[in-house]
């Protein structure tokens, strides 16, 4: 709507907490703080909610990930405080975009592309529990992800047998494999069951061992191990290569993830499987948390960049912020989004000050990609997950590539099109791109560059039966950051992580909250139905 | 109980309008029949529901309040999603609020669905002495833009229910299945014993 | 709901339920009154609705309502009779049924009422299907809903293929669903019978079904619904025509029919001897399964000297009326037959169609058998009365048969172990392949999972395979070793002690087959019996000994029709069903078994030749209330009452009332020797009763009558 409209000054100017950036962790903290009765001011320099967790129209997507802002020089000075300019640094790199058809960009506004895709929710996830607990389930609608596939040896896609009926229906498993897999699921169930005898429990020794070893021990075939490790338990790194694996999953952890998956199936009566996705994109989550925060009194100001941090002249303590409008606002605590850089201030210990100077070798990265097509990867399903376990695309592939296809029925693209997200952990840009390109080539037919639109059109009709043809694609590398707290009163939230789920991000967010408000409960339980539910009589639908 | 031919309609209704035009008071009056003088800015209520019966249908309104996010033009797209109706509120004693109301109408027309039923409500009609916005002006504007117009007073309850009834009457009877439609998650205790064993 | 623990009701709950009961009784009596007085006012009908909504089990209430509906329909105003008013009356009923079903989803009365309404033809079957879908989402296994679904599909004429697809979808959703599998079997039966497009090749269709259910069996071997369907598939695969297996007199034998048995020289093939004062001998036909329709129109007997008239064939079975594996008729030869003249007899079984098995398969192949009857020289009634000697049945009196001896050859011929393949219809090669395939899969499954129903299926499969091979004319495949089958059943007895009786029975059947269907093993069980103390002129008798084998039931008599002396002692026999076939049996040893009542001996009543019976050391009378006493024919059975002869007893003789069950069994028998000690019920009163009952009886437990 309006750009740089002169807002009325923000009133009051003192808050318990100021949060800069409306990414998901920031929104959750703002919401939790408001729920705990704190006065909160929540700002974002963007004209939209969600920051790095947002869902954007197509034409806004690339500009966002390529944006970075320089520290401002005007309006910096402050009378009473030391004013330190803030800036953002780019957390995305190696952005590569290919457009083979004008159709997507012509319908830009009908897209809601996740910046941090692919991402889904398991029905029994802690995020879902939080959504229910806070009541924001009333703001959102979800749809089931119809199926999960794993790439098979011959290059095709096979359904993941993740439940009893899926095992029964599956055409790719041998009869013995079906028997083994079901037996394994029952074994896990018995182990976790309350009233089972000691015999049913898995030994402690086994629990500590790597999951892959346990699976081998009980005699599961290679195929079954792959399915369990990479499509249900969602391991990133090659588990067979134990020395090189950066994240070996223990049996205990594997079993609890398996249990989480199974308890997700059937949790909600209308959900077909274990996995759901919010309609309109993952960007709905930050919006929902922000709304809840607003309901509890949090003040929201979009399009309001922060130009400087104000520190006390003597103690050097954080005191407040300065807006681009020149207004100064104060709070005892501050939360900032991950892309912010705060150059070290003179009175601070070098160590504590700028933890952004992290040695590069510790930097973890995730390669992300988005593809737009006109045909589904599988004619039977609209929304699905696809997994490429390590070594399935090429021998040196050391991490799993995850793919999520969504259709217009979750309102992320125009009718008739499909959006596919890809991601994989990587050490560097080259490796990351290689991983994603291998997956893209396996799934899609890439028009030869140079004949963009024409060939695109003719290709579409020819390849309708085979691999879907790309209309548009982008690849980029996102840096992963960790939560940094304890920088006095300033805490920095993490970037969206490399996982398909939100569990780790939620844990980190809760930790942030606990650090700044150790005595407050993280969303105290309230009556789930909103406080002031109307008094009207309700009819059965 | 239900005679044949009676339709049940669910409708999401959003309120728009400047700060302090009395949006929340309107809703409060409609839903709870209450009016609180000097009501502080809305805190704590984001959702109301109320059912009205009109001739041939029973309409259950799900009324969304802005929760203050309109103050700095920070309403999220989530707010508008799937809204079947909207009430744009201005304060008849405040010309600026009327101007702003027009901007809200434009915003709605850009974001909302084309079949949305829109009502323009000139609130605080009890403060006749302080009137700054002429009813005719508002009426004309409404007519030109496909809205209907009423002056209301949450304090005296004038026309409050009428606005909602009028909306209810204008809602399309044939409820299109919302497109796209999904499921709303409902928290059920672990009650998954469907198909409980019978002589297994 | 099943599987929920009961909790003692609290005081409040009890009070609430007794209040409810009072209200209910009140409603019930009101409705009954309306019903009796044929009151069908609006108020009365509403009260009945209240009753049925709270107690859908009230049958009379539903009947009342049906009458009320009829009444209303009849009394519609002349010009108001249109489908809408009829509809509203019926809709009201449907609404009532829905409410009643909400209360009790499984109420027979409610469902029936709904069917009744639907049969009137005015209601929407589409709506019913939607309702059914809703119900089946809530509980996909409710058989009422499935039953109703079949009813609606028939009404709506939904093609079976569509319904089959519906069951497929339900099974894909959750394969642990008996009703869906069952419906599948019903639909497939229809489709296969009609033989329409895609269903004309039975073998292929069944093959696909085997593949389908195999996924369920392997995915969750403990889920029984798949196994039950598999069993049905097996039955479909094994379905075959009943076969005529064996007879007595055996094919190719020469029967020497004499009045006086003393001149019996040792039997040797082909000469067999039979004593009959009346010159009649039994002709027994034995089939592969129970059949009916054996009569003079389906079996022809041609011979010169048959004393005319149509033959009466009787089924030799205590059970299923009219169906039996063994059929008997008596052939009488007139006195006109001169000595040593041989008289050929030719029998054609299934000469005309009419013999049908209990599963409806006809015996279509006709078979011939022939034997010769002759009369010995100097055949006349002996004037001296023979002294019968008591048989001691001591172990030392038994002598095993040498393999090449005459007796061995006799046994060989008698037991007809050379099955004439000419007469046999070909075994469907496909069936054999299917069974072999299933065996392989079953073994694969059992290699990784120890599953009892899997083992049972494997045992059944092996038995079926043996049967197919034995009765087929193709020589494919070797018979499975019975030892493996027996081992499986022993495993099952340990794994699943709850069903041990069933496993013991199946084990016995397999063991019996092992013992009797092969010459080598049969010979092992054949012995010569000769009393050491008796006179040398008494020829040794041939005795088949199947003792000490843990048998709990009698098996196939196919190869044993000729047996005269049978030792079944030291087994676990609870019942002796099947023995009635052995019409030639004269000496039977059942000592040391588990027979617990006289009525369990019912099959013996048909054995007219039985003279020596040993039932010592059983459990007759061990339990004061033996429920199995009543498993046999009831004394009130009309068929039996007419056979009671009370003339031997004074009308007020107490012992008859006390020993009615012994009376029923022994009245028909002409025993000479009986051993009954070691049974709880035995006392002197019983012994004297038995002496009185059977005039021919000489010894009970070694004591003669006079003692």
Task: Tell me how far apart the alpha carbons of residues C227 and C178 are, in angstroms, rounded to a whole number.
Answer: 10
Q: Any idea which of B171-180, C349-358, C499-508, C687-696 has the lowest mean pLDDT?
A: B171-180
pLDDT band at A350 (very low <50, low <70, confident <90, very high): very low
Q: At what angle do helices C178-194 and C224-238 cross, to 10 degrees?
A: 20
How many A/B residue pairs have CB atoms within 8 Å? 136
pLDDT at position A539 is: 24
A230 occurs within a structural domain:
yes
Instruction: Kindly list the residues from chain C whose CB atom is less than 8 angstroms away from the CB atom of residue A176.
Output: 218, 444, 448
Under the banding of pLDDT at 50, 70 and 90, the label for residue C335 is low
Domain count, chain C: 3
Per-residue pLDDT band at C534 (split at 50, 70, 90): low
Average predicted confidence (pLDDT) for chain B: 81
Q: Give pLDDT, residue B23.
A: 86
* Partners of A144 in the β-ladder: A276
The Cα of C221 is separated from the nearest Cα of chain A by a number of Å equal to 8
Q: pLDDT tens digit string along C135-169?
A: 887 777 788 888 888 888 888 888 888 899 999 99
With a cut of 50, say whether residue C422 has pLDDT above it: no
B30 by DSSP, 3-state: which? Answer: helix
Residue C659 belongs to a domain: yes
Looking at beta carbons, which residues of chain B come within 8 Å of C2?
Answer: 196-199
Q: Which of residues 64-93 of B touch A (CB under 8 A)?
A: 67-69, 71-74, 76-79, 81
Which of A2, A538, A539 lies closest to B73 in CB terms?
A2
Top pLDDT among C10 and B103 is at: B103
Could you tell me which chain A residue has the CA closest to the CA of B28?
A534
Does the residue C301 lie in any domain?
A: yes
C448 touches chain A (CB under 8 A): yes
- C-alpha C345/C-alpha C329 separation (Å) is 14
A346 touches chain B (CB under 8 A): no
pLDDT in the model for residue A7? 74
Which positions in chain A touch B44 (Cβ < 8 Å)?
295-297, 531-532
Quick check: C81 pLDDT over 80?
Answer: no
Same domain, A295 and A233: no
A534 close contact with B: CB closer than 8 A:
yes
Residue C686 vs residue A153, higher pLDDT: C686
Whether C228 is in a domain gets the answer: no
pLDDT digits (tens, 9 = 90+) for C208-244: 999 999 999 999 999 999 999 999 999 988 888 888 8
> Is A193 a domain residue?
yes
Q: What is the chain B residue with the closest CA to A131?
A: B185
Cβ contacts (< 8 Å) between A2 and chain B: which residues? 73
C192 lies in the same domain as C264: no
> What are the domain boundaries of chain B?
7-169
Distance (Å, whole) CA C32 – CA B19: 70
Is A117:A256 a contact under the CB 8 Å cutoff?
no
Taking residues A381-406, what's their average pLDDT?
93
User: Does residue A225 lie in a domain region?
Assistant: yes
CB-based contact B67 A279, cutoff 8 Å: no
Same domain for C328 and C265? yes
The pLDDT of residue A182 is above 60 = yes
Arithmetic mean of pLDDT, A219-233: 91
pLDDT in tens, C628-666: 555 555 555 555 554 556 566 665 566 777 787 888 888
Chain A CB contacts of B175 under 8 Å are none
| Closest by Cβ to A182, choosing from C214, C220, C444 | C220
Task: State the pLDDT at residue C480.
Answer: 66
CA nearest to C271, candidates C145, C182, C181, C371? C371
Is the pLDDT higher at C358 or at A438?
A438
| Residue C319 pLDDT class (50, 70, 90 cuts) | low
Name the residue with higher pLDDT: B113 or C192: C192
Shared domain check, C194 and C250? no
We report the CATH number of the domain holding residue C558 as 3.80.10.10
Range C43-67 average pLDDT: 86
**Spatial distance between the Cα atoms of B122 and A16, rounded to a whole number of angstroms:** 36
Put simply, the answer to whether A299 touches B50 (Cβ < 8 Å) is no
pLDDT interval class at B198 (50, 70, 90): very low
Q: CATH number, domain at A24?
A: 3.50.50.60
Nearest to A176 among C172, C174, C444 (CB): C444
> C587-632: per-residue pLDDT in tens?
999 999 999 888 888 889 889 889 999 999 998 888 766 665 555 5
Chain C residue at shortest CA distance from A218? C448
Statement to judge: residues A217 and A288 lie in one domain: no
Q: Chain A neighbours among B 105-134 (CB < 8 Å)?
A: 107
Residues belonging to chain A with any Cβ–Cβ distance to chain C shorter than 8 Å: 164-165, 167-169, 175-176, 178-180, 182-183
Band (pLDDT 50/70/90 cuts) for residue C32 is confident
- Nearest-Cα distance to chain A for B168, in Å, is 15
pLDDT band at C476 (very low <50, low <70, confident <90, very high): low
Lowest model confidence (mean pLDDT) among A265-269, A400-404, C426-430: C426-430
Residue C118 resides in a domain? yes
Kindly report, residue by residue over C539-554, the tens digit of the pLDDT: 667 889 999 999 999 9
Do A238 and A315 fall into the same domain? no
- Rounded to whole angstroms, the Cα distance separating C555 from C546 reads 11
Q: Measured between CB atoms, which of A164, A169, A178 is closest to C218? A: A178
Q: Is residue A34 over pLDDT 50? A: yes
CATH number of the domain at A237, please.
Answer: 1.10.405.10
pTM: 0.81
CA B91 to chain centre: 16
Best interface-test mutation with C: which of A159, A161, A167, A168 has the largest number of C CBs within 10 A?
A: A168
Rounded Cα gap, residues C649 and C643, in angstroms: 15
Is B198 within 8 Å of C2 when comparing Cβ atoms? Answer: yes
Nearest to A410 among B69, B72, B180 (CB): B180
CB pair distance less than 8 Å for C140 and B195 = yes
A45 falls within a domain: yes
Q: Is residue A221 part of a domain?
A: yes
Percent of chain C with pLDDT over 90: 19
Per cent of chain C over pLDDT 70 is 84
Q: What is the pLDDT of residue C385?
A: 54
Q: Does position C336 have pLDDT exceeding 90, yes or no?
A: no
CATH 3.40.50.300 fits B7-169, yes or no: yes
The answer for A 372-411 residues in CB contact with B (under 8 A) is: 408-411
Domain limits for position A179: 163-264
Instruction: In whole angstroms, give the CA distance from residue B138 to residue B130.
Output: 16
Whether A294 and A321 share a structural domain: yes
- Average pLDDT score over residue span A453-460: 44
Could you list the residue range(s) of the whole structural domain that residue C54 is in?
13-200
Q: Tell whether the model's pLDDT for residue C2 goes beyond 70.
A: no
Q: How far C447 CA lies from chain A's nearest CA (Å)?
A: 10
Let me know whether C250 and C188 are in one domain: no
Strand A340-341 and strand A87-88: the pairing is: antiparallel
Report the mean per-residue pLDDT for chain C: 81
Cis status of the peptide bond prior to A479, with omega within 30 of 0: no
Q: Is residue A477 pLDDT above 90, yes or no?
A: yes
Residues A291 and A339 in one domain: yes
Residue C416 lies in a domain: no
Which residues have a Cβ under 8 Å from the Cβ of A424 and sit 6 or more positions away?
A236, A366, A367, A399, A400, A401, A402, A432, A435, A436, A439
Is the Cβ of B195 closer than 8 Å to some Cβ of chain A?
Answer: no
C338 within a domain of the structure (yes/no) = yes
Q: Are residues C689 and C586 in the same domain?
A: yes
Distance in angstroms (rounded) separating the CA atoms of residues C625 and C272? 46
Angle, helix C224-238 to helix C452-471, in steps of 10 degrees = 0
Whether residue A292 is found in the same domain as residue A250: no
**Is the residue at A40 inside a domain?**
yes
What mean pLDDT, rounded, does chain A reach?
A: 84
Q: Which two tokens stand for residue B102?
A: 């027009």
Domain boundary among C380, C395, C412: C380
Q: What share of chain A is helix, strand, coil (3-state, %, to 5)?
A: 30, 25, 45
Contacts of C639 (CB under 8 A, 6+ apart): C633
Highest mean pLDDT among A241-245, C88-92, C389-393, C427-431: C88-92
Of A164, A169, A176, Cβ closest to residue C448: A176
Task: Indicate whether A454 pLDDT > 50.
Answer: no
Give chain A's domain count: 2
- Do A35 and A169 sit in the same domain of this protein? no
Whether C141 sits inside 8 A of B194 (CB atoms) is no
CATH of the domain at C286: 2.60.40.1220
Q: For residue C638, give the 3-state DSSP assignment.
A: helix
Q: Which two tokens stand for residue A284?
A: 């709905």
Last residue of a domain, one of C380, C395, C418: C380
Is C215's CB within 8 Å of A175's CB? yes
- Whether residue A178 and residue C215 make contact (CB cut-off 8 A), yes or no, is yes
List the single best residue of B112, B113, B180 to mutate versus A (max A Cβ within 10 A).
B180
């Amino acid at each position: 709507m309006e750009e740089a409209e002169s807002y009325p000054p923000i009133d009051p100017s003192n808050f318990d907490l100021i949060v800069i950036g409306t990414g998901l962790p920031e929104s959750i903290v703002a919401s939790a703080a408001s729920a705990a009765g704190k006065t909160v001011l929540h700002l974002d320099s963007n004209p939209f909610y969600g920051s790095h967790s947002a869902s954007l129209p197509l034409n806004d997507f690339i500009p966002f990930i390529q944006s970075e802002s320089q520290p401002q020089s005007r309006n910096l000075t402050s009378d009473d405080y030391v004013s330190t300019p803030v800036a953002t640094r780019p957390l995305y790199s190696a952005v590569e975009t290919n457009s083979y058809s004008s159709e997507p960009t012509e319908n830009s506004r009908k897209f809601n592309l996740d910046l941090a895709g692919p991402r889904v929710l398991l029905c029994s996830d802690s995020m879902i529990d939080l959504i229910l607990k806070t009541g924001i389930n009333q703001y959102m609608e979800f749809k089931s992800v119809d199926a999960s596939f794993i790439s098979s040896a011959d290059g095709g896609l096979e359904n993941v047998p993740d439940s009893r009926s899926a095992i029964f229906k599956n055409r790719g498993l041998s009869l013995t494999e079906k028997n083994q897999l079901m037996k394994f699921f029952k074994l896990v169930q018995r182990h976790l069951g309350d009233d089972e005898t000691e015999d049913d429990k898995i030994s402690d020794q086994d629990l500590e061992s790597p999951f892959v070893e346990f699976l081998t021990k009980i005699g599961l075939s290679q195929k079954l191990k792959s399915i369990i490790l990479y499509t249900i338990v969602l391991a990133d790194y090659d588990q067979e290569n134990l020395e090189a694996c950066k994240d070996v999953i223990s049996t205990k952890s594997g079993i609890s993830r398996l249990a989480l998956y199974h308890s997700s199936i059937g949790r909600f009566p209308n959900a077909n499987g274990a996995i759901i996705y919010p309609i309109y994109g993952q960007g709905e989550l930050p919006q929902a948390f922000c709304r809840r925060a607003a309901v509890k009194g949090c003040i929201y100001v979009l399009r309001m960049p922060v130009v400087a941090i104000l520190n006390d002249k003597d103690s050097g303590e954080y005191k407040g912020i300065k807006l681009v409008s020149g207004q100064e606002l104060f709070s005892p605590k501050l939360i900032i989004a991950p892309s912010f850089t705060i150059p070290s201030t003179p009175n601070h210990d070098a160590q504590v000050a700028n933890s952004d100077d992290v040695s590069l070798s510790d930097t973890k990265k995730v390669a992300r990609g988005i593809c737009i097509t006109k045909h589904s990867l599988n004619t039977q399903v609209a929304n699905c997950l696809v997994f490429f376990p390590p070594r399935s695309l090429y021998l040196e592939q050391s991490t799993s590539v995850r793919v999520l296809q969504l259709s217009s029925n979750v309102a992320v693209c125009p009718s008739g099109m499909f959006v596919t997200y890809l991601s994989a952990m990587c050490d560097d840009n080259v490796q990351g791109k290689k991983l994603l390109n291998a997956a893209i080539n396996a799934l899609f037919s890439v028009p030869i560059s140079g004949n963009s639109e024409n060939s695109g059109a003719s290709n579409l009709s020819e390849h309708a039966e085979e691999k879907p043809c790309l209309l548009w694609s982008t690849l980029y590398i996102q840096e992963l950051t960790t939560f940094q707290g304890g920088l006095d009163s300033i805490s920095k939230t993490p970037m969206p992580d490399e996982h398909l789920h939100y569990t780790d991000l939620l844990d980190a967010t809760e930790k942030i909250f606990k650090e700044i408000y150790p005595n407050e409960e993280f969303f105290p339980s309230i009556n789930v139905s909103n406080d002031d539910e109307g008094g009207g009589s309700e009819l059965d639908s | 109980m239900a005679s044949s031919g009676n339709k049940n309609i669910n409708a999401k209704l959003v309120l728009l309008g400047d700060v302090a035009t009395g949006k929340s008071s309107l809703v409060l009056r409609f839903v709870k029949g209450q009016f609180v003088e000097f009501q502080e800015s809305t805190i704590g209520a984001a959702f109301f529901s109320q059912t009205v019966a009109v001739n041939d249908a029973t309409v259950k309104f799900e009324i969304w309040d802005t929760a203050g996010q309109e103050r700095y033009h920070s309403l999220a797209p989530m707010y508008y999603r799937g809204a079947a109706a909207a009430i744009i509120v201005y304060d008849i004693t405040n010309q600026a609020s009327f101007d702003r109301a027009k901007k809200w109408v434009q915003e709605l027309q850009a974001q909302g669905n084309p079949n949305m039923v829109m009502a323009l409500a000139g609130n605080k009609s009890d403060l006749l002495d302080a009137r700054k916005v002429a009813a005719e002006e508002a009426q004309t504007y409404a007519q030109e833009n496909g809205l209907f117009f009423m002056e209301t007073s949450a304090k005296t309850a004038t026309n409050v229910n009428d606005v909602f009834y009028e909306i209810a009457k204008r809602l399309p009877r044939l409820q299109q299945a919302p497109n796209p439609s999904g499921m709303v998650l409902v928290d059920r205790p672990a009650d998954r014993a469907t198909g409980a064993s019978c002589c297994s | 709901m099943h599987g929920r623990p009961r909790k003692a009701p609290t005081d409040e709950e009890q009070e609430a339920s007794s209040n409810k009961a009072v209200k209910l009784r009140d409603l019930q009596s009101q409705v009954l009154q309306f019903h009796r007085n044929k009151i069908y006012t609006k108020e009365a009908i509403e009260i009945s609705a209240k009753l049925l909504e709270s107690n859908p089990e009230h049958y009379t209430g539903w009947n009342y309502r049906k009458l009320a509906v009829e009444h209303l329909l009849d009394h519609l105003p002349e010009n108001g009779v249109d489908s809408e008013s009829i509809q509203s009356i019926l809709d009201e009923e449907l609404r009532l049924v829905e409410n009643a079903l909400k209360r009790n989803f499984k109420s027979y009365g409610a469902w029936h009422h709904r069917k009744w309404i639907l049969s009137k033809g005015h209601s929407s079957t589409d709506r019913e299907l939607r309702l059914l879908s809703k119900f089946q989402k809530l509980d996909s296994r409710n058989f009422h809903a499935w039953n109703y679904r079949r009813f609606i599909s028939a009404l709506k004429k939904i093609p079976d293929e569509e319904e089959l697809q519906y069951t497929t979808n339900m099974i894909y959703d959750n394969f642990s669903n008996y009703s869906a599998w069952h419906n599948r079997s019903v639909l497939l039966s229809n489709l296969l019978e009609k033989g329409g497009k895609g269903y004309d090749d039975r073998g292929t269709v069944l093959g696909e079904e085997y593949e389908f259910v195999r996924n369920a069996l392997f995915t969750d071997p403990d889920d029984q619904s798949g196994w039950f369907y598999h069993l049905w598939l097996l039955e479909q695969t094994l379905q075959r025509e009943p076969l005529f297996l064996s007879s007595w007199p055996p094919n190719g034998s020469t029967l020497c029919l004499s009045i006086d048995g003393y001149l019996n020289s040792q039997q040797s093939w082909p000469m067999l001897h039979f004593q009959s004062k009346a010159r009649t001998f039994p002709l027994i036909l034995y089939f592969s399964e129970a059949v009916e329709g054996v009569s003079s129109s389906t079996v022809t007997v041609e011979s010169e000297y048959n004393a005319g008239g149509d033959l009466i064939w009787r089924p030799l079975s205590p059970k299923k009326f009219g169906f039996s594996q063994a059929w008997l008729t008596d052939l009488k030869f007139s006195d006109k037959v001169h000595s040593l003249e041989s008289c050929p007899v030719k029998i054609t079984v299934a000469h005309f169609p009419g013999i049908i098995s209990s599963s409806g398969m006809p015996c279509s192949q006709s078979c011939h058998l022939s034997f010769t009857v002759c009369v010995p020289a100097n055949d006349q009634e002996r004037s001296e009365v023979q002294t019968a000697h008591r048989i001691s049945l001591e172990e030392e009196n038994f002598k095993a048969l040498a393999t090449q001896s005459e007796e061995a050859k006799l046994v060989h011929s008698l037991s007809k172990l050379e099955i004439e393949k000419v007469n046999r219809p070909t075994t469907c090669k496909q069936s054999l392949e299917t069974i072999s395939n299933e065996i392989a899969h079953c073994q694969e499954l059992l290699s990784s999972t120890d599953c009892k129903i899997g083992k049972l299926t494997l045992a059944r499969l092996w038995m079926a395979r043996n049967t197919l091979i034995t009765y087929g004319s193709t020589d494919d495949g070797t018979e499975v070793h019975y030892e493996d089958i027996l081992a499986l059943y022993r495993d099952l007895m340990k794994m699943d002690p709850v069903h041990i009786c069933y496993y013991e029975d199946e084990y016995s059947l397999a063991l019996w087959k092992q013992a009797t269907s092969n010459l080598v093993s049969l010979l092992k069980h054949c012995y010569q019996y000769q009393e050491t103390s008796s006179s040398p002129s008494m020829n040794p008798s041939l005795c088949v000994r199947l003792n000490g084998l843990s048998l709990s039931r009698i098996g196939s008599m196919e190869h044993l029709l000729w047996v005269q002396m049978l030792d079944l002692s030291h087994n676990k026999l609870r019942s002796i069903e099947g023995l009635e076939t052995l019409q030639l049996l004269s000496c039977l040893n059942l000592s040391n078994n588990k027979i617990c009542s006289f009525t369990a001996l019912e099959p013996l009543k048909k054995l007219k030749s039985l003279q020596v019976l040993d039932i010592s050391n059983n459990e007759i009378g061990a339990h004061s209330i033996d429920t199995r006493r009543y498993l046999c024919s009831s004394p009130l059975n009309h068929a039996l009452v007419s056979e009671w002869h009370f003339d031997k007893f004074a009308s007020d003789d107490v012992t008859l009332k006390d020993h009615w069950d012994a009376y029923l069994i022994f009245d028909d028998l002409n025993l000479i020797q009986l051993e009954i000690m070691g049974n709880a019920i035995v006392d002197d009163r019983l012994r004297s009763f038995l002496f009185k009952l059977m005039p021919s009886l000489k010894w009970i437990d070694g004591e003669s009558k006079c003692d």
